């Protein structure tokens, strides 16, 4: 996810653009840049503040600006936006992923176009340059170029020859037009616009807008004009950054359907029951020879790895061990050429996980990463990997990154399983169900009020037990962690089969248990464990499959999830637990985005 801001008017654009970028800094943080047709461009690695060191001499009454969260190419100055064409006259800033950029780049290179970055975005500028050879207007060239693009984009184009004209476009990534007096704006969201105007047009997918200081016109991709009335932006800038939600954590939970879509985008060949993972193509043959996998992670990433263990062993036929990064680095692991290590980290900078990667590389084994931050240290040091494409996660307690990690592990399972004899029918079944997961998560999110009511009932409890089996044992661990992190309530996650081996001693009428018990191979076993707790008068909060009438009889309270295949049940079962923890913490009036003593990226031991 990236931040875009653009301006055309009668004032000096540079301070306006920098101010707009600063308000979008939550959307990206690894590089930034500004282009003004009247004077050129400035880029820097890091936050917006770094631009100030080189901004002298940049001026003009229009410009485009960008703060980047990398997806294609490391966070370097050459990969920072805005990007230009061969002539230096067409410039673009872009939020999204151009799925067919490699094909487009190859075709453009055959026409003597020269590329200077590793990004997918740069092809947009070159495409427009190519179409300007045939089209009479800048905007017509942009529309024609966009017709060739597959993927998502929120983009703004600038043209040196027509310095006061900007062309904005949307397909799957938000774009807002701000309409002022003798000035107009474009942004990724309303927050940087609100300080200038409250009049806005929220563009829809497939729309292109042409703006000058005094005009704005909206078209579709057939170049038909669309009449769209402006609407008033309500609220304050800080609230809009959060999408209208009270906290980033809630916003990020609500983004989870889109997160799964983004992690899956371009990676599923559903009809063939295959996962197409470009990040693993360079090591595909080495992976065929792998006979054992070690997954390493910390905290939430470790729990995602535990779920991945069940996926990979159950469907890819590979023995898997899951290690806490801080323990792996102090062991003397027995590794050989048939072993691969998979490191999972949202930030890609987790110190213990990074050291596990380095130890594996010292022993010469294949290393893979499942990483959210492109260009991070782990992403650079592993041999290959899978990017989550979850976008920046601001809340310290991981929610959407965990969902994306589970999704990436499911893709890895499909990829490796089909290498090892997984049937076409099974591959198709997994692939097809993965495509349904976003809408199923969305249906759970619609029950937020019901989940909040359950949270209100239990918000003053001092202790919780979370229990699950097989795929949902890791979900029990993650659910307990979420509650601990943000509400400061003691919670323990356990395998339900372990109840009689100790935890049952703690149960009484004031000690609730959260039982993750969707339909599946261990459903009856979970019912037995629930009965053990009921016999000790322990309250039961059950997460079960929609329509489960039996669970209503046994549980004190129930949170339902849609039915899915057992392998993918963690992707659904964890969602009500995230909301449950969130609402308990907010009801206790705690800062859920910044829990005490915790940091987002743990880069030290």
Tens digit of each residue's pLDDT (9 = 90 or more) over 453-483: 999 999 999 999 999 999 999 999 999 999 9
**Which pLDDT band, with edges at 50, 70 and 90, does 600 fall under?**
low
Distance, in Å, from the CA atom of 128 to the CA atom of 145, rounded to the nearest integer, reads 6
- Cis check for the bond before 82: say yes or no (omega within 30 of 0): yes
Boundary (domain end) residue, out of 241, 275, 307: 241
Average pLDDT on 254-272 reads 94
What is residue 604's predicted lDDT score, i.e. its pLDDT? 41
Average pLDDT on 406-428 reads 96
Work out whether strand 216-220 and strand 225-226 pair parallel, antiparallel, or are unpaired: antiparallel
Q: Are residues 292 and 303 in the same domain?
A: yes
Average pLDDT on 402-410 reads 98
Per-residue pLDDT reduced to its tens digit, 526-536: 999 998 898 88
Boundary (domain end) residue, out of 412, 444, 476: 444
What is residue 375's predicted lDDT score, i.e. its pLDDT? 67
How high is the mean pLDDT of the chain?
91
What is residue 95's predicted lDDT score, i.e. its pLDDT? 87
On whether residue 581 sits in a domain, the answer given is yes
- Residue showing tokens 């970028």: 21
On whether residue 600 sits in a domain, the answer given is no
Q: Specify whether 261 is catalytic.
A: no
Q: Are residues 352 and 368 in the same domain?
A: yes
Name 542's Cβ contacts closer than 8 Å, sequence gap at least 6. 514, 515, 517, 530, 551, 554, 555, 557, 558, 559
Q: Are residues 412 and 452 in the same domain?
A: no
What is residue 430's predicted lDDT score, i.e. its pLDDT? 97
Average pLDDT on 598-603 reads 57
What is residue 28's predicted lDDT score, i.e. its pLDDT? 58
- Kindly report the pTM of this predicted structure: 0.74
- Among candidate residues 2, 36, 43, 89, the one labeled active-site is 2
What is residue 1's predicted lDDT score, i.e. its pLDDT? 54
Q: What are the tokens at 223?
A: 């170049």
On whether residue 602 sits in a domain, the answer given is no
Q: Are residues 209 and 95 in the same domain?
A: yes
On whether residue 395 sits in a domain, the answer given is yes
On whether residue 565 sits in a domain, the answer given is yes
Distance, in Å, from the CA atom of 598 to the CA atom of 79, rounded to the nearest integer, reads 32
Looking at per-residue pLDDT, the higher value among 597 and 514 belongs to 514
Q: Are residues 354 and 499 in the same domain?
A: no
What is residue 376's predicted lDDT score, i.e. its pLDDT? 76
Average pLDDT on 28-33 reads 76
Boundary (domain end) residue, out of 444, 476, 495: 444
Note down the domain range covering 280: 251-444
Q: Are residues 53 and 176 in the same domain?
A: yes
On whether residue 312 sits in a domain, the answer given is yes
Q: Are residues 275 and 414 in the same domain?
A: yes
Q: Are residues 311 and 385 in the same domain?
A: yes
What is residue 21's predicted lDDT score, i.e. its pLDDT? 87
On whether residue 594 sits in a domain, the answer given is no
HEC letters along 268-317: EEHHHCEECCHHHHHHHHHHHCCCEEEEEECCHHHHHHHHHHHHHHHHCC
On whether residue 595 sits in a domain, the answer given is no
CA atoms within 13 A on the CB side of 382: 32
What CATH number has the domain bearing residue 390? 3.40.50.10490
Give the count of domains, the chain.
Answer: 3
Q: Are residues 459 and 503 in the same domain?
A: yes
What is residue 603's predicted lDDT score, i.e. its pLDDT? 41
Q: Are residues 397 and 473 in the same domain?
A: no
- Among candidate residues 78, 261, 525, 600, the one labeled active-site is 600
Q: What are the tokens at 31?
A: 């590089």
Q: Are residues 414 and 492 in the same domain?
A: no
Q: Are residues 361 and 440 in the same domain?
A: yes
What CATH number has the domain bearing residue 190? 3.60.20.10
Looking at per-residue pLDDT, the higher value among 453 and 30 belongs to 453
Q: Specify whether 86 is catalytic.
A: no
């Amino acid at each position: 996810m990236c931040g875009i801001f653009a301006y055309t008017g009668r004032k000096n654009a540079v301070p306006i653009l920098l101010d707009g970028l600063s308000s979008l800094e939550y959307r990206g943080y690894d590089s930034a840049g500004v282009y003004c047709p009247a004077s050129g461009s400035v880029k820097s690695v890091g936050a917006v503040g770094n631009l100030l060191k080189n901004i002298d001499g940049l001026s003009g009454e229009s410009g485009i600006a960008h703060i980047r969260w990398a997806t294609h190419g490391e966070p370097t100055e050459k990969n920072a936006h805005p990007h230009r064409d061969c002539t230096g006259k067409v410039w673009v800033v872009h939020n999204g992923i151009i799925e067919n950029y490699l094909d487009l780049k190859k075709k453009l290179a055959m026409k003597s176009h020269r590329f200077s970055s590793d990004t997918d975005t740069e092809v947009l500028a070159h495409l427009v340059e190519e179409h300007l050879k045939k089209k009479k207007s800048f905007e017509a060239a942009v529309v024609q170029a966009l017709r060739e693009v597959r993927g998502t984009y929120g983009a703004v184009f600038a043209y040196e020859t027509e310095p006061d004209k900007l062309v904005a476009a949307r397909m799957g990534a938000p774009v807002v037009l701000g309409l002022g007096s003798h000035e107009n704006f474009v942004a990724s969201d309303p927050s940087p616009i609100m300080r200038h105007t409250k009049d806005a047009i929220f563009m829809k997918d497939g729309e292109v807008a042409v703006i000058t200081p005094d005009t704005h016109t909206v078209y579709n991709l057939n170049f038909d004009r669309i009449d769209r009335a402006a609407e008033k932006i309500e609220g304050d800038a800080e609230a809009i950054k959060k999408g209208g939600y009270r906290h980033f954590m809630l916003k990020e939970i609500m983004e989870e359907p889109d997160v799964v879509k983004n992690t899956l985008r371009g990676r599923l060949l559903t009809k063939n029951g295959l996962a197409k993972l470009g990040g693993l193509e360079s090591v595909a043959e080495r992976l065929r020879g792998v006979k054992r996998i070690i997954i390493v992670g910390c905290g939430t990433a470790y729990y995602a790895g535990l779920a991945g263990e069940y996926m990979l062993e159950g469907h890819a036929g590979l023995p898997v061990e899951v290690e806490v990064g801080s323990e792996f680095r102090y062991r003397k692991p027995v590794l050989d050429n048939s072993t691969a290590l998979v490191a999972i980290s949202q930030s890609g900078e987790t110190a213990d996980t990074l050291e596990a990667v380095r130890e594996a590389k010292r022993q010469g084994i294949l290393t893979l990463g499942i990483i959210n931050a492109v260009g991070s240290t782990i992403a650079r040091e592993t041999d290959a990997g899978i990017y989550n494409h979850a976008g920046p996660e601001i809340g310290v307690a991981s929610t959407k990154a965990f969902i994306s990690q589970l999704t990436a592990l499911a893709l890895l399972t499909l990829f490796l399983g089909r290498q090892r004899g997984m049937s076409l029918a099974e591959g198709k079944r997994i692939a097809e169900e993965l495509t349904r997961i976003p809408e199923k998560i969305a249906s759970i999110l619609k029950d937020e009020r019901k989940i909040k009511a359950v949270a209100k009932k239990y918000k003053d409890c001092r202790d919780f037990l979370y229990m699950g089996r097989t795929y949902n044992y890791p979900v029990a661990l993650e659910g307990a962690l979420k509650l601990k992190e943000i509400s400061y309530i003691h919670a323990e996650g356990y395998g339900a089969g372990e109840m009689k081996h100790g935890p049952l001693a703690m149960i009484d009428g004031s000690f609730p248990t959260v039982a993750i018990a969707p339909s599946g191979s261990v459903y009856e076993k979970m019912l037995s464990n629930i009965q053990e707790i009921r016999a000790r008068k322990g309250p039961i909060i059950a997460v079960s499959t929609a329509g489960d009438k039996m669970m209503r009889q046994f549980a004190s309270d129930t949170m339902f999830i849609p039915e899915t295949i057992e392998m993918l049940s963690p992707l659904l079962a964890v969602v009500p637990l995230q909301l449950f923890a969130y609402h308990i913490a907010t009801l206790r009036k705690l800062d859920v985005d910044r829990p005490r003593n915790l940091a987002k990226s743990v880069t030290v031991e």
